[in-house]
Structure 1
């Protein structure tokens, strides 16, 4: 027991080891008690903050607790200055890493709820995914700089060097950074979210994924269309999911032999047919043209639904009823044809051929 090892007796080493084990075990016991207490409160009344606390505490690493225990034990020993400095820096580095792990798991847990609600609000899931990634990257970057500073590295020079290197890298990857900032614009401004049906130039489909560089759209044909985020924001985007009402305009052309009283009555008859349809708001119907082949009408109404199937069902029913109404009124739809009348020209009678020519023919 009186043996001296590195300036400390064997008894001192055993005491230090016992203190290290006791501290590590004590910290682990405190973690278990806190977890049990928070989980019991969460079971009684669910809370998002308590869920985050449970996720963070559950990520506590036993090796970190052991390093903190060893530091507590080492503080009881008469160690050289370099040994004490090493123990202090190791304990601080372990504690910083553990704080980063707590923060990482806490952010993941906090964002888990919006992702679970993706069907109700896809925009929140999209925003939380991108913002959560940036928060976690920033957290680990700050912790890494703090650890380097704790180890005695001059981080001022390092940060300045990283700034210069960052400018060079930024110039080299302008397109990637452009897509990254475009992704942030999509997340924050929300011109569309996952699940929206959009039209971009000649491509149309449902948004499946919004990434840091690309956005993926599933077209009606089944193939996946991949857009660069920067190029996508430069395009004109039609978001059909946010359509509150669909404006419908169609023309009706009737034959020139339709009598004037029927022509005058047609707008009212068409209005009655359109107004009878559910989820439809009639706007107007007018006799608006006397072209060469027909008399034409223009009819405008609104379908109070963004569902394309509802729009097609309404349009089909209106067309069928108009056809039936025209048949009852004895009105014929105009055909794309023209009739040419020749006046003041003598009739041309066929001239019979001689007998021999008829035989030859």
Structure 2
């Protein structure tokens, strides 16, 4: 038996439908009136639920919580779907003939599948917008990304809805599904680089490792995020030049976001000369702590670290709260000058690289280069102390 649709077949089926409908209305008019009344009641209930969803969405605004997302989804319920739900629920009560029942079922299936697609689209887009709520830092990138996401999500859900409807109508959709799959693979392979950067851009927008204006460092590059695009990110380096890197390559690197620091730490090494008395050396850690606290920095530790080539080495470690580098820079300068001032007041000499030369005779014995008579052998040399930075 052929299932080919022809104009004659359509006319014949339409004739049967009108004929059956006429006989049905004539013999079941009372049940039909009651069914229509019930259907109107069902439609009004569904319309009230839709209105409640609209109010819930309006109350929460465009970027509210999950209640707002639910209200937004319900508010997208279509009138045709509500009519077909009401008709489907009362068609059995009115004892509709098979042709009318089949028509109602056919229309209800189309309405239900596409309404489900609309709901799914709103839920997905609402979830994505909820993940990016209050995120104005990405500017144009977020708007462009949301436009592409809406396009992809709409195409996907309505393509699935179309396949489901055709499948319920008895159409063989195997070839259609295979064609969509092959076409998707071909497009993906042809534009895999673009899609990789696009997905990376979406990852930046949703995961938020950094935002526009953040100060970041990766590899040997430091700078401020100037623009996050769908293909690349532009960074204004501290030297003034603009650097561009693809989003995919950027996310493959370890990125330090200096803007999100909760503090900045400084390790200050200080060396004093070997002639410094031990009791004075013992007081140096407390001196360093006092200097740091005088400048309202957070003291971490201070102490002796080792015997250097030309100095007794100490260090002081302190933190400055917050990410502000200018404030940290000024405080570090003030603490350094404070250490110098305190050491000068205490008579502590800061060491610098020193080299000493000794004079010896032919036997290798050390001799005084400046004997009392200022004389000496010609093979004797003068001992000198050379100091330099």
Q: TM-score range by the shorter chain?
A: 0.5 to 0.7
Confirm or deny: 8 A CA contact 2:197 2:247 kept in the other structure.
yes
> Structure 1 residue aligned with 2:73, among 51, 56, 63?
56
> Structure 1 residue aligned with 2:224, among 205, 209, 234?
205
> Structure 2 residue aligned with 1:162, among 165, 180, 183?
180
Q: Residues 287 and 44 (structure 1 numbering): CA distance in 2 closer, same or farther, change over 3 Å? A: closer
Shift, 1:37, TM fit: 5.1
> Structure 1 residue aligned with 2:288, among 258, 267, 270?
270
Give secondary structure in 2 for the equivalent of 1:317.
helix
Cα displacement string for residues 34-54 of structure 1 (whole angstroms, at most 9, x for unaligned residues): 245567889999995543332
Give secondary structure in 1 for the equivalent of 2:321.
coil
> Structure 1 residue aligned with 2:165, among 147, 158, 163?
147
Map 1:164-313 onto structure 2 (within 5 A): 164-180=182-198, 182=200, 190=207, 192-194=209-211, 197-201=215-219, 202-206=221-225, 209=228, 213-215=231-233, 226-241=244-259, 243-252=261-270, 259-260=276-277, 264=281, 265-286=283-304, 288=306, 295=311, 297-303=313-319, 305-309=321-325, 310-313=327-330
Question: How many Å separate the matches in 2 of 1:174 and 1:110?
Answer: 26
Cα displacement string for residues 17-38 of structure 1 (whole angstroms, at most 9, x for unaligned residues): 9999979865652233224556
Cα displacement string for residues 112-163 of structure 1 (whole angstroms, at most 9, x for unaligned residues): 55444559xxxxx9xxx79x86876654443232133245442222223333
Shift, 1:80, TM fit: 11
Shift, 1:325, TM fit: 0.8
Q: Residues 51 and 152 (structure 1 numbering): CA distance in 2 closer, same or farther, change over 3 Å? A: same
Alignment pair present for 1:317 and 2:358:
no
Confirm or deny: 8 A CA contact 2:56 2:68 kept in the other structure.
no
Confirm or deny: 8 A CA contact 1:247 1:300 kept in the other structure.
no
Give secondary structure in 1 for the equivalent of 2:109.
helix
Question: How many Å separate the matches in 2 of 1:62 and 1:222?
Answer: 58
Q: Residues 329 and 43 (structure 1 numbering): CA distance in 2 closer, same or farther, change over 3 Å? A: same
Question: How many Å separate the matches in 2 of 1:166 and 1:135?
Answer: 14
Q: Residues 235 and 50 (structure 1 numbering): CA distance in 2 closer, same or farther, change over 3 Å? A: closer
Question: How many Å separate the matches in 1 of 2:43 and 2:216?
Answer: 53
Confirm or deny: 8 A CA contact 2:114 2:161 kept in the other structure.
yes
Question: How many Å separate the matches in 2 of 1:219 and 1:54?
Answer: 45
Which residue matches 1:354? Answer: none
Corresponding pairs, count: 326
> Structure 2 residue aligned with 1:29, among 8, 21, 44?
44
Return the TM-score normalized by structure 1. Answer: 0.62
Shift, 1:280, TM fit: 1.6
- 54-63 or 217-226, larger mean C-alpha shift: 217-226
Question: How many Å separate the matches in 1 of 2:223 and 2:299?
Answer: 27
Question: How many Å separate the matches in 1 of 2:51 and 2:269?
Answer: 72
Shift, 1:231, TM fit: 0.7
Question: How many Å separate the matches in 1 of 2:208 and 2:301?
Answer: 29
Calculate the aligned-residue CA RMSD, in Å: 5.5
